[in-house]
């Protein structure tokens, strides 16, 4: 019986099965209320970012864009709040267009979307991001604050209910299973929406 030839490339044994990491190389956009949210949605985005980066997922955070010129966003937000208070809507339009462009481009670049959905907080951009991602048939993973029966029926008409999560822990358990459980059974919605690298 012939021995299997050991294939080695730059010190890596290519015959050795690699550790399962299905989400490696994917990107996620963190969508949720900012304008009227407590702490602008900073805390949940920061906590989730470290969890996702540990799985080698690139995180697009609308509060910390990586695009050229994004370092000006904090000052821009202060300026926009002032323009809104002063009812200078034409100037506000000009300022906000650039942020909208960065957010929606990030949605295009993302492999999947995580949405924090709290219907008690006014949100507009979150809904546009959610439906834009859904039209691209990407996974839209929705963490909701209120009980499921209080969510808009429209969401159930557009998104698979198995991608709704009642807590951050539920979402993390799901992502951990997708990422590293060799026995995870992909649902029909998973198979339709997730595009994973080999």
> What's the pLDDT score for residue 12?
47
pTM: 0.85
User: The domain that contains 146 carries what CATH number?
Assistant: 3.40.50.450
Q: What tokens appear for 49 in the block?
A: 């970012």
Is there a domain that residue 76 lies in?
no
Mean pLDDT by 10 residues, the chain (198 residues): 47 52 96 87 92 96 76 77 92 89 93 95 92 96 92 94 96 96 94 90
Domain that holds residue 43: 21-66+108-177
Question: Is 10 inside a domain boundary?
Answer: no
**Which pLDDT value is given to residue 69?**
66
Structural domain includes residue 1: no
Strand 27-31 with 164-165, pairing = unpaired
Name the domain count of the chain.
Answer: 1
Give kind and range of the element (H or E) at residue 31.
Answer: strand 27-31
The answer to whether residue 90 is domain-embedded is: no
CA angle, 111 as apex, 108 and 115 as ends, to 5°? 85
**Taking a C-beta distance cutoff of 8 angstroms, is the pair 119, 146 a contact?**
yes
The Cα diameter of the chain in Å comes to 83
Looking at the domain assignment, is residue 126 inside a domain?
Answer: yes
């Amino acid at each position: 019986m012939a021995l299997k030839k050991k294939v080695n490339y730059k010190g890596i044994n290519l015959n050795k099965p690699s550790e399962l990491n299905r989400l490696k190389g994917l990107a996620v956009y963190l969508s949720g209320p900012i304008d009227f949210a407590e702490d602008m949605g900073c805390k949940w985005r920061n906590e989730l970012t470290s969890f996702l980066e540990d799985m080698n997922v690139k995180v697009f955070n609308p509060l910390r864009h990586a695009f050229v010129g994004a370092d000006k966003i904090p000052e821009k937000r202060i300026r926009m709040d002032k323009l809104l208070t002063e009812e200078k809507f034409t100037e506000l339009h000009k300022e906000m267009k650039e942020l909208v462009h960065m957010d929606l481009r990030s949605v295009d670049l993302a492999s999947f979307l995580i949405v924090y959905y709290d219907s008690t907080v006014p949100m507009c951009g979150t809904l546009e991001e959610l439906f834009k991602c859904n039209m691209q048939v990407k996974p839209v993973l929705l963490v909701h604050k209120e009980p499921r029966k209080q969510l808009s029926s429209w969401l159930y008409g557009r998104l698979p209910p198995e991608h709704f999560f009642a807590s951050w822990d539920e979402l993390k358990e799901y992502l951990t299973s997708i990422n590293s459980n060799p026995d995870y059974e992909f649902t029909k919605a998973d198979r339709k929406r997730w595009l994973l690298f080999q």
